[in-house]
Amino acid sequence: MLGHARVPWKLAPGVRCSRLAHTLRANHEDARWPGWNVVVGIEVHAQIKSRTKLFSSQYLCTPWTIVSTWTSDYSLPPNTRVSAYDAAFPGTLPRLNPKCVELGVRTAVALNAQVQRRSAFDRKHYFYADLPAGYQITQHYAPFATGGGLKLDRKDAFVRIKQIQLEQDTGKSTFEPRQHVSFIDLNRAGTGLMEIVSEPDMRSPEEAGEYVRALQALLRSVGSSDGNMEQGSLRCDVNVSVHRNGSPFGTRCEIKNLNSVKFMMVAITSEVRRQIDLLESGQSVAQETRGFNEDRAETYLLRSKEDAPDYRYMPDPNLPPLLIDEAYITQIRDKMPELPDATRARLQDIGLSRRDTDVLMDVDSGREVGLDGELGKGAVAYFDQVAQGRDPKVVVNWITHELLGQLAYRKETFSENPISAEQMGELIDLIQAGKMTGTSGKTLLRHMLDTRSSGEPSKLAEQLSLLAVREDNTSLEKWCTDAIAAMPQEAEAFRKGNMNVVNRMVGRVMKASRGTADARAVRDMLVKLLQ
């Protein structure tokens, strides 16, 4: 017994808070399961994007530990980022990395959570080869932040946050069935994690998906985590229960190890059906921890509540309490970047459509977060820069339709975009001023993407003969004369008073000019020649 009796027990999960949520948003009828309500609560583990790990930052004493204090990238060779502390060498001691605390506080402030003046670290014991110390340091009893929440924009719901705690990540073990051996990689061991625990406030697989996406966008916007599920920097444990209309919440099952938002939603759907089938056939749902089989799209039993390990939580004797003062929180609050909600409101205020806002923000949320929470420039910052002194709707059109369209066609991401905001702005100006047609603008854009040229768009347009051909220009007159000669029937119809045929002739001239001719100038010239 390691200090079990002295530490306070948590509230039974879901008792007080879930009732509240239940009265607030009762009876969410869903055509997929009439008469039933679904309740979801999510524990998100987000890797903190700090240069160094949570507690191993000071071990610079022996040659092989100098590099090993750095946080590992998922792509590095195994066991190349391991300090003596991460490998639990006897005599090593933890020292809290202040950067991890800063990024944690940034996240808490962004979620409107209350940062606790005093929090503490506990040991959670279990025995597994990828956990060399035999325990993980976490904040089980006194998390550093509680409360707060996240608005789901597209689902019109609010998900409350129960608590946010700092903890260590574990190493990774992989089993090699042919050789019958397990490989241990300690690169990830000791990396800082934030566990963000939601209240059971989601009512469908879609709301759960929306919550994780909104959280990813928020983490990236404050620079605290990559939030990448596929690469494992964001992992979700999803708690699911079902109950009949008007009844209290059902027993939850927790599904572990989901590695994409899509699979998470499939896992919830299949778990809901499993629980409803059990209840409808007169059986009951047992509290279990379950896994998810992607190929079969079903959850399976990992362990029942009776088999739940006894973690023998105890306060970590090597770490003092974490004290965070008000001035520190204020300092972080003052330096907060714009959060997704505020960005969305601002973009819509300047007249962007909901769709364009979504496109910009979806691309933006995929931005890379630099080490130690440095913020990369995303699609919104690019838009802001190009839109300086220009019509925002015209600018967003060029960015979302033409630029992003071309990048997608080339299978490139926004971070690979070679066109600077200045270039994009000048290109738009050329078109707006009538110096280049829209068609030529698109050609120029493609050319710039092909050649990755850093030249000025006006110069490039001139070199490529893409500047608009207007009146008094001999080639314009020649194209028009040619078109009239090639389309005698239309010319005749025009002379008989059918003005509409001229559009067809304009089309022909535009084609002949490869889009460089100015459509209005062509029309005027045709009319002049035909009369």
**Contact set with ligand ATP (CB under 6 A):** 13-14, 18, 39-43, 197-200, 237, 239-241, 249, 252, 254
Q: How many residues comprise the chain?
A: 531
How many CA atoms does the CB half-sphere of 287 hold within 13 Å? 9
The minimum distance between CB 199 and ligand ATP, in angstroms, equals 5
Are the beta carbons of 28 and 244 closer than 8 angstroms? Answer: no
Pairing type for strands 322-323 and 118-119 reads antiparallel
Is the CB of 219 or the CB of 430 nearer to Mg ion? 219
Structure tokens at 80: 């190349």
Phi, psi of 387, deg, nearest 5: -75, -5
Is the CB of 121 or the CB of 398 nearer to ligand ATP? 121
Is the CB of 47 or the CB of 239 nearer to ligand ATP? 239
Phi, psi of 277, deg, nearest 5: -60, -45
Which one of ligand ATP, Mg ion, none interacts with residue 14, CB within 5 to 8 A by kind?
ligand ATP
Residue nearest to Mg ion (CB): 43
Among 43, 316, 368, 456, binds Mg ion (CB under 5 A): 43
**The one segment of 25-33, 75-83, 133-141, 230-238 that binds Mg ion by CB under 5 A:** 230-238
**Residue 257 interacts with Mg ion (CB under 5 A): yes or no:** no
DSSP structure class, residue 416:
G
Binding characters for Mg ion, 147-186, by CB under 5 A (x = yes)? ----------------------------------------
What are the residues whose beta carbons fall under 8 Å from the beta carbon of 363, sequence distance 6 or more?
378, 379, 404, 414
Structure tokens at 410: 């080339």
Is the CB of 268 or the CB of 352 nearer to ligand ATP? 268
Which one of ligand ATP, Mg ion, none interacts with residue 200, CB within 5 to 8 A by kind?
ligand ATP
Structure tokens at 509: 């001239």
Structure tokens at 505: 């002739």
Is the CB of 79 or the CB of 287 nearer to ligand ATP? 287
Which one of ligand ATP, Mg ion, none interacts with residue 21, CB within 5 to 8 A by kind?
none
Q: What is the dihedral of CA 233, 112, 151, 48, to 10 degrees?
A: 0
Rounded to an integer, what distance in angstroms lies between the CA atom of residue 26 and that of residue 13? 19
Structure tokens at 67: 């590099």
Which one of Mg ion, ligand ATP, none interacts with residue 494, CB within 5 to 8 A by kind?
none
Which one of Mg ion, ligand ATP, none interacts with residue 18, CB within 5 to 8 A by kind?
ligand ATP
Helix axes 340-349 and 354-365, enclosed angle (nearest 10): 150
Is the CB of 143 or the CB of 190 nearer to ligand ATP? 143
Give contact residues for Mg ion (rule: CB under 5 A): 43, 237, 254
